[in-house]
A and B are shown apart, each in its own frame.
Chain A
Amino acid sequence: MARRIRRAAAAAFAAALMTTACAAEETQSASDEIPIGVSIELSGPAQVQGEAYQKALQLEVDRINAEGVKVGDRTYRIKLVVRDNKSDPTEALQVVKSMIDNDKVVAIVGGGSSPTTMSTVDAVESRGVPTVSMGSSGAIVSPPDKRRFVFKTPANTDLIVETMIEEFQRQGITKIALLSVDNAYGQAGLGAIEAAAKAGKVQLVASEKFTDKDKDFTVQVTKLVAAQPEAIVVWAIPPGSTIAAKNIKASGFTGKVFFDAGAGAELFIKGAGAESEGMYMVHPAVLAGSKITGDSPAATVQREFFQQYTAKYGNFSGFAPYAADALRLIVAAIEKAGSLDRKAIRDAMEQLTYDGVTGRYEFSPENHGGVTKDSLVLLTVRDGTWEPAQ
């Protein structure tokens, strides 16, 4: 008898879940609001990035709406339609389609990673919705004729590698070894480094990988060090980057260590501790925050963003600028186009030259991707904080 009651209860619970929820509200945008979709990783493996994006977007939308967006002779406010894509490509596709078909968004910020962007590319292309992604893979914006509506904010990986190579040449380093994370992010870096090696710009003496579940890379590091490189390049995000730093230092390697832009802000230094001293990272200048010198519009924008973000949230994140810029670019394109027509916005964006938080963007029909190379700087850890290396 008791069993039957429990069974009935379980079934009723399930039924209740389904029926009562049918009363969910519909989201309607007021006529002076511009709906912009946001597809980010608020859960799943990439949640740390997703949360940083969300914080950055909140900061930006408040700032933008304080003045409003001028389209023609009317002033609008931005309404962000934020959806969690769960770091899953299928979910990202669902979310994007829903934002376009149900919420009628004018443009989209997202996905926050390559897989969550790649699955949506066909959908946004066929529906003609300008999309600015925070993913890093080159495939997001290439081939250009199949990516008419897709843009991205992170620098193209080959530009990051070029910056590193310039420093290698400056320091007389010719032999490097690579330690990369075994996912789409790391693979992009691996590809770029291998391409540079093939072009003869540097000699890659060893290359190892680790998965994002791995907690110890001593074996990989031992193999790398045995190949006697002059510098080790690490392409990973925390905690992989911090573990790599510790393992490399523990191995007694005396050469230089270079990280890509994903290594992390304070999280990296906190995790790697004193061992991170003297390590390098290629990153948009904004990470150096208050140490950015100069009064150029770009420097001012970056300093302000760094200060506002840290003031509001307590610490900085290297991921935040990518999302901030995605939104800024869309708004700039809207204002330049003077219209809310998706195609007009896309056309305007392709002619945009913009100084964002991450750096300078110079889009064109052939170039939909990321900041220009001069936006990237080489940073180093000095006295426990990131500083420009020169």
Chain B
Amino acid sequence: MKPRARRWAAREPSRITRLLGLAVFAAVLFSVPAVFTRIEPYTMSDGVQMAILAIAALGLVPLTGYANQISLGQAAFYGTGAYTSAILTAHSGWNPWLALLIGAVVAGGGAYVLGLFIFRVSGHYLALATIALGLVLAIVARQLTITGGSEGLPGIPYLTVLGTELTGDVAYYYFAAAVLLVATMVVGLVVRSSLGRSLTAVGDSAFAAAASGIDIARYKRVAFVLAAVLAALAGSLYAHWVTYVDVHTLDLLLSIQMLIVVAVGGMRSVWGPAVGAFVVVSLVRFSKEWLPALSEKAGGQVEIVAYGVALILVLLFLPRGVVGEIADLFTRLGASSPPLPASASPAASAGGGDAASAGSAARPAPVGKEPS
């Protein structure tokens, strides 16, 4: 087989493919307003929500997709970012960008400290611990005056970017989409780096990773901190969009929603959260349109059923999410020769966050109660 064809059959995505993928992604992101304003029932509010949700869920790609750590506490960090921005800008009039940074630092710092303890447990224990964490924070937020208690914090100022105040949904969408793009690039870099490879090793088999000398706990912590920072960033964006923050930003359902977003989109792909957010928000929008037609009683409740059903269906039948399945499809169509043997490069199987990352397809899901 010719060397060139061999190149394309290899699972290691070339630089060109990656940049192309990013360009396509950017193009899609920035053409959303043109589409959403024309197709019912989408609105630009949906667009902003999708972007913010995608940013928040992006952190779960290295954490859950690669390192296999189930965190159901992302909302805790999201809310931290939202509340920090709210408290500093609404109450004390600080610069919103500074507040945003502080929110990210607080969330990241908190995640670091927690990470020192929380990764002693694994699997189901971790999921429970993160749930409990979020719940404790929500309760505390309701008690303190500084967080406005149950009444929340109104009066958050709008953001001003390049001289324009972002009051409208279209403007805010462009801003949020730009942030999403940058965040995606950053996470892409992370998963392709040696850090990403280590996370994959940790996710596959903690024993093997430990045996090869990797400090498992440290890598898990790093992924946890990254996820927290991204979630806090998303939370701050939310605060300056709605201009009101209350305990709903710490809701457990939000954490579950983020998990659903990556599960649906594809946990091992940096495009996954964006795709997943799009699918989930669309599902919600459409169920609002049709279900009242089906039954009078239907409405927001059926959306909850839809979430649960979507989660189950996706986990059972689309374990690699939408992006993963599409990538799989492309690989099957594109590969005209047997794939290169695994010895080609360990990096190949850790194959980055790219549309062509069918690298995950080769690895079978670990069976049984392996500790992670």
Answer whether A and B touch in the complex at a CB cut-off of 8 Å. yes
B91 adjacent to chain A (CB < 8 Å): no
Residues in A whose Cβ lies below 8 Å from that of B43? 94, 97-98, 101-102
Q: Are B288 and A84 within 8 A (Cβ)?
A: yes
The interface on chain B, measured as residues whose beta carbon lies within 8 A of the other chain's beta carbons, has a size of 42
B21 adjacent to chain A (CB < 8 Å): no
B32 adjacent to chain A (CB < 8 Å): no
Q: Select B244's contact among A14, A97, A121, A185, beta carbons within 8 Å.
A: A121
Q: Are B152 and A122 within 8 A (Cβ)?
A: no
Q: Are B151 and A18 within 8 A (Cβ)?
A: no
B284 to chain A, nearest CB (A): 9
Which A residue sits closest to B313, measured CB to CB? A10
A231 to chain B, nearest CB (A): 24
Which of B65-73, B314-322, B361-369 is found at the contact surface with chain A?
A: B314-322
Q: Are A24 and B45 within 8 A (Cβ)?
A: no
A11-36 vs B, CB cutoff 8 Å, 1 = contact: the mask equals 10110011001101110000000000
Q: Are A184 and B150 within 8 A (Cβ)?
A: yes
Residues in A whose Cβ lies below 8 Å from that of B151? 114-115, 118, 137, 139, 184, 187-188
Residues in A whose Cβ lies below 8 Å from that of B290? 21
Supposing A21-B290, A22-B40, A122-B243 touch, asked if A182 and B152 sit within 8 A by C-beta, the answer is no
A146 CA to B224 CA in the complex, in Å?
41
Supposing A10-B317, A17-B286, A98-B45 touch, asked if A89 and B244 sit within 8 A by C-beta, the answer is yes
Supposing A18-B286, A22-B40 touch, asked if A6 and B317 sit within 8 A by C-beta, the answer is yes
Supposing A43-B300, A118-B152 touch, asked if A183 and B142 sit within 8 A by C-beta, the answer is yes
A87 CA to B149 CA in the complex, in Å?
17
Q: Are B314 and A89 within 8 A (Cβ)?
A: no
Q: Are B152 and A26 within 8 A (Cβ)?
A: no
Q: Are B288 and A7 within 8 A (Cβ)?
A: no
Q: Select B279's contact among A14, A183, A184, beta carbons within 8 Å.
A: A14
Q: Are A119 and B149 within 8 A (Cβ)?
A: no
B319 to chain A, nearest CB (A): 9
Q: Select B154's contact among A3, A102, A139, beta carbons within 8 Å.
A: A139
Q: Select A7's contact among B152, B301, B325, beta carbons within 8 Å.
A: B325
B205 adjacent to chain A (CB < 8 Å): no
Q: Are A93 and B317 within 8 A (Cβ)?
A: no
Q: Are A122 and B244 within 8 A (Cβ)?
A: yes
B255 to chain A, nearest CB (A): 15
Which B residue sits closest to A17, measured CB to CB? B286
Contact residues of A between 347 and 387, Cβ < 8 Å to B: none
B7 adjacent to chain A (CB < 8 Å): no
Q: Select B282's contact among A17, A24, A98, beta carbons within 8 Å.
A: A17
Q: Are A119 and B242 within 8 A (Cβ)?
A: yes
A293 adjacent to chain B (CB < 8 Å): no
Which A residue sits closest to B238, measured CB to CB? A90
B248 adjacent to chain A (CB < 8 Å): yes
Residues in A whose Cβ lies below 8 Å from that of B279? 14, 18
B342 to chain A, nearest CB (A): 24
A348 CA to B221 CA in the complex, in Å?
60
B122 adjacent to chain A (CB < 8 Å): no
Q: Footprint of B on A, CB under 8 Å?
A: 3, 6-7, 9-11, 13-14, 17-18, 21-22, 24-26, 42-44, 84, 86-91, 93-94, 97-98, 101-102, 114-115, 118-119, 121-122, 126, 137, 139, 146, 182-188, 211
Q: What would 28 A/B residue contacts be, using CB atoms closer than 8 Å?
A: A6-B317, A7-B318, A10-B314, A10-B317, A14-B279, A14-B322, A17-B286, A21-B285, A24-B40, A24-B289, A43-B303, A86-B300, A89-B242, A89-B246, A90-B248, A91-B300, A93-B242, A94-B49, A114-B151, A115-B152, A118-B151, A119-B244, A121-B244, A122-B243, A182-B143, A183-B142, A184-B152, A188-B151
Instruction: Contacts A14-B322, A89-B242, A182-B142 known; list 19 others, CB within 8 Å.
Output: A3-B317, A7-B317, A10-B313, A10-B317, A18-B279, A18-B286, A25-B40, A43-B299, A86-B300, A89-B246, A91-B300, A94-B45, A98-B45, A114-B151, A119-B246, A126-B167, A139-B151, A183-B150, A186-B150
Shortest Cβ-Cβ A-B pairs, 7 listed: A43-B300, A86-B300, A21-B286, A184-B150, A119-B244, A183-B150, A10-B317
